[in-house]
Amino acid sequence: MISDTDKAYIAGLFDGEGSIDFTKRKEKKKYGTYDCRRISMEITMTDSSVIRWVNEVLGCGTFSKKPRKGKRKDGTKYLMQYRWRCTFRDAYYVCLLIWPWSHTKLPKIQQIIEHYTTERLKKDNVVDFEEYKSLKKNEKR
């Protein structure tokens, strides 16, 4: 179990160093154009120990090095950055944990929570095959 202190610290990391992406857009796929969602959360910083700790405490997401691009104006290399990232339902899990302590990222966190708590998804996210087929038939008309 994650302590409230750890949850609050992670919320602070997200507010200061993190980013949250919740976008809705149309994407062209092989069989047509669909409404798609992109849901992701990440924290990027040069201190690898903090990012590893976040990964261990949350128990989800991925830890990776973020490739450096280019050099500073003075010609020196940028410091290596480390990234923790999660997507979709893992992001929902993290949002539920850090919601009470978030400030600057709160609107995006609330969007993700609302997305996963809609009536349609309360049915264990199971798609009724007959309903799916009828929707597909209607789309073709």
- Give the DSSP per-residue string, 26-69: EEEETTEEEEEEEEEEEEEES-HHHHHHHHHHH--SEEEEEPP-
**CATH numbers and ranges of domains, the chain:** 4-69+77-140 (3.10.28.10)
CB atoms within 10 A of CB 26: 9
Q: Which of helix, strand or coil describes residue 94?
A: helix
pLDDT tens digits, 4-33: 999 999 999 999 999 999 998 887 777 778
Q: What is the pLDDT of residues 51-70, one digit of tens each?
A: 999 999 999 999 999 877 78
pTM of the predicted model as reported, rounded to 2 decimal places: 0.75
Per residue in 66-117, pLDDT tens?
877 788 888 888 889 999 999 999 999 999 999 999 999 999 999 999 988 8
